[in-house]
Amino acid sequence: MPTLLHVDSSPRSASISSQLAGEFVQQWQRRNPAGAVIHHNTSREAIPYVSEAAVEAFFTPAGTLSEEQKRVLALSDRLVDELLDADVIVLGVPMWNLGIPASLKAWIDMIVREGRTFAFTQQGVRGLLPPGKRGYVFSARGGAYPEGTAAGVLDLQEPYLRAILGAIGLTDVRFVHADNQSCGPQAAADGVAHAEAAMAALLA
């Protein structure tokens, strides 16, 4: 049974990134009626920041974990399992202060785990996600960040997500941006129309 993991991160009920990611997931469900979808919205779930106890547990070999450490790792383990089980990973991501919301970073800090989603090797970090998974990121941004422009240098959202997802082995990731959401109604609508067209091309 194909499985899709859908992670939104905007708290807004009128969120454009959540709307786009949701449309994509609906299309996927139409094509995969027997498929399973797991949904999170990190802005509405209390994913904790990594504590000292969690850091220690993260780097303790599985066989020697205390009962307390297993408890500390329970949420992280569940989120990692969801990621490992998923064939398709869909993120809805608002650009906040040039990057991603802190709540999405909290989820990332739970799923980037040595020995589970990446390994340190003599050649550096090696991703442990099985090959064949595909990622889709639907972002909404107040402005626009075209590559090769002065504004493009300020985009710390796509490069960061590409880098961290790549580090755990998710290298096949498509980005769709709805730009100019803070630039007036026409520019915002054009940004969404552009993103919808890009999504349709991905689904074609």
Ligand X SMILES: Cc1cc2nc3c(=O)[nH]c(=O)nc-3n(C[C@H](O)[C@H](O)[C@H](O)COP(=O)(O)O)c2cc1C
Rule CB under 6 A: which residues touch ligand X?
10, 12, 15-18, 94-98, 140-143, 181-182
Cβ distance to ligand X smaller for residue 35 or 143? 143
DSSP string for 108-171 = HHHH--BTTTEEEETTEEEE-SPTT-EEEEEEE-SS---TTSTTGGG--SHHHHHHHHHHTT--
**Cα angle for residues 116, 118, 123 (degrees, 5° grid):** 145
Nearest distance in Å: CB 151, ligand X: 9
CA-nearest of 154, 156, 172, 188 to 19 is 188
**C-alpha dihedral over 150, 156, 161, 167, to 10 degrees?**
100
Nearest distance in Å: CB 128, ligand X: 30
Nearest distance in Å: CB 137, ligand X: 12
Nearest distance in Å: CB 36, ligand X: 25
Cβ distance to ligand X smaller for residue 55 or 98? 98
**Cα angle for residues 102, 198, 187 (degrees, 5° grid):** 75
Cβ distance to ligand X smaller for residue 98 or 153? 98
SS3 138: strand
Integer Rg of the chain from CA = 18
Nearest distance in Å: CB 171, ligand X: 25
Cβ distance to ligand X smaller for residue 76 or 139? 139
Cβ distance to ligand X smaller for residue 22 or 35? 22
